[in-house]
Structure 1
Amino acid sequence: MAINFNPFKPTKSTKHKKVNHSKRYHRKRTRQVIYTTTEIIIVVEKLLASKLLLRASIPSPIPTTPSKNTNLANTPANRDWKENSILDVFRGSITKFVAYNVFAGFFASTTFAVVSIFDRVWPHWPEATRARRTWFLCALLAVLFMLTSSVYFSVTVANNLVSMVRVRDGFIPSLDREALAYVTLVLTWVATCGTVWSCCLLVSCALRVKVHGPLSKYGREMEAEEIRGKVAENTERELEAVGGSPGRGGWRNSGSKQGHAVGSGPGEGEQSGREQ
């Protein structure tokens, strides 16, 4: 007699869909990567801007490199060599830029850090209209601040580069000594592009949740309760517009009014009942 081992075999578990291959997972991972990368670039750019401010506050006694066509005999004897350095000419502009850049970077990094935490801990959470508008406003302000900072620094660098290269003295700026300024400028624009991308992802995610609804179970239950409440309110308003709501005795009052309207006198109702 053969022994049947089938009852002792473990039952096969149902195969669940792999989360790593879903579009929802890739979208969430992409958002987290972009948010985190933008925050890191903003922090590095702020550190370089602070270092640039410290370097600009120290006077540079080394002159810039003269070009081949420079006539040193025509240059004044008491020439101030500091005017030819990009870090010394717009020292005041760098101070303004660093102050504004720190504010803009702090606002943008804080905004997207909070967005990243909310997206990671409470994904697709149902939010009120005011909360959604607040997210949109913060993201747009972050983009505006970073874009203004980048444009201001670019204009400042361009103006001082033009002012240093003059026809009468023929001096050109020393690019190797001013590499920190150009690296800071490039990172500022990279951080601005990352901020714009993060803002677009935030807006698209919020609009997707608004159209398709939250994905969490509790969020869908809350949304269903809100829909039921709105339907009940609309029903009550329609009933009140017609003649009263059933819960507050509106129909009873309307019926009693109709009954009094039928009989013109106080005894007509009783007389009709006796005749029947």
Structure 2
Amino acid sequence: MAPVIWGLPLSEFTFSKFGSKNMWSTDYHRRRTKVIVYQMAMVLHVVSESVGTAALSDYVDQQNGISRLNPGASEYNNDFIGVASYNIFVGIYVATIFGSGFFFDLIWPERKETLAVKRAWKICSALACVMALADAIAMTVIVATRSAYVTGADLVETVGLLAIVGGPNLIYRKNAYCLTSVILLWLGTVSTFASTYVMWKALTYIDAYGPRSKVGKTTLANGHETKTAADVEPTV
């Protein structure tokens, strides 16, 4: 007999659950909507952080190159480095929350969850919205209004150092990577709010009517019932 972990029978974990037939099934409430908005939130944030990381790496390389050529000179880019680092954290957090929701809904759609678990889903998703919005605002302000600059060298020497080292434009808004990261971040933030709304509405529906949609209930009534996580102890 397959083990049961946290009320979730591992016997239900099959790769067929990731197939399009199950993923786009109408048997469960808002499944297709969840698949779309959850993945949009995850993918857009992850791509935004990836592009932002590329820009971050370019500025760090440029900074190190200037310091090697002139130990007395230094490039200030801490504002973008800081917000890009935070963007990485937000991307990981959003992907973790909605990736988990996506995974559990596909594998164990009829699992029973305690009140504490349901509250955790709501709190974590709401926190994702706050973090994503703060990230998007900070990134937008910094990219739109700020720029890196070199200290410890006059203008002529700075131009010469940059010509030798190369690298990104010191003005963030003129860096295509920075702009792309901001645009994707805003799209990801909107998707995060949409995902949170869908998650909260789904939890309310499940509390009132169970996880199955009207179509799913009709299918179940016609005798197509299978054993699910609802047949075991609640998740702790």
Q: TM-score, with normalisation over the residues of structure 1?
A: 0.53
**Mapping 1:144-159, distance limit 5 Å:** 144-159=130-145
The structure with the largest alpha-carbon Rg is 1
> How far apart are the structure 1 equivalents of 2:173 and 2:202?
44
Query: What is the letter of the counterpart of residue 98 of structure 1?
Result: A
Task: Give the number of the structure whose residues are more often strand, by fraction.
Answer: 2
Q: Hey, what does 1:184 align to over in structure 2? A: 181
Q: Hey, what does 2:217 align to over in structure 1? A: none
Per-residue CA distance 1:2-40 (angstroms, 9 max, x = gap): xxxxxxxxxxxxxxxxx9998546831221122123212
Q: Hey, what does 2:48 align to over in structure 1? A: 45
> How far apart are the structure 1 equivalents of 2:31 and 2:203?
13
> How far apart are the structure 1 equivalents of 2:62 and 2:231?
66
Q: Hey, what does 2:195 align to over in structure 1? A: 198
Unaligned runs of 5+ in 2: 1-21, 64-74, 148-169, 213-219
Query: What is the letter of the counterpart of residue 119 of structure 2?
Result: R
Aligned-residue offset at 1:201: 1.0
Aligned-residue offset at 1:46: 1.1
Query: What is the letter of the counterpart of residue 109 of structure 1?
Result: A
**Percent identity over paired residues:** 23
Query: What is the letter of the counterpart of residue 148 of structure 1?
Result: A
Residue 95 (str. 1) matches residue 98 (str. 2): no
* 8 Å Cα contact 2:44-2:184 kept in structure 1: yes
**Mapping 1:122-161, distance limit 5 Å:** 122-160=108-146
Query: Cα distance 1:20–1:45, how it changes in 2: closer, same or farther (>3 A)?
Result: closer
Query: Cα distance 1:108–1:213, how it changes in 2: closer, same or farther (>3 A)?
Result: same
> How far apart are the structure 1 equivalents of 2:51 and 2:33?
27
Aligned-residue offset at 1:158: 2.9
Aligned-residue offset at 1:180: 1.6
Query: Cα distance 1:104–1:92, how it changes in 2: closer, same or farther (>3 A)?
Result: same
Query: What is the letter of the counterpart of residue 133 of structure 2?
Result: L
Aligned residues: 169
Query: Cα distance 1:176–1:118, how it changes in 2: closer, same or farther (>3 A)?
Result: closer
> How far apart are the structure 2 equivalents of 1:26 and 1:207?
11
Q: Hey, what does 1:36 align to over in structure 2? A: 39
Aligned-residue offset at 1:58: 3.9
Query: Cα distance 1:127–1:24, how it changes in 2: closer, same or farther (>3 A)?
Result: same
Query: Cα distance 1:214–1:54, how it changes in 2: closer, same or farther (>3 A)?
Result: closer
Per-residue CA distance 1:206-258 (angstroms, 9 max, x = gap): 110011134487677789xxxxxxxxxxxxxxxxxxxxxxxxxxxxxxxxxxx
* 8 Å Cα contact 1:108-1:195 kept in structure 2: yes
Q: TM-score, with normalisation over the residues of structure 2?
A: 0.61
Q: Hey, what does 1:211 align to over in structure 2? A: 208
SS at match of 2:146: helix
* 8 Å Cα contact 2:24-2:31 kept in structure 1: no
Query: What is the letter of the counterpart of residue 211 of structure 1?
Result: A
**Mapping 1:62-77, distance limit 5 Å:** none
> How far apart are the structure 2 equivalents of 1:220 and 1:99?
41
* RMSD of aligned residue pairs (Cα, Å): 3.5
SS at match of 1:125: coil
Query: What is the letter of the counterpart of residue 111 of structure 1?
Result: I
> How far apart are the structure 1 equivalents of 2:171 and 2:141?
19
> How far apart are the structure 1 equivalents of 2:105 and 2:133?
25
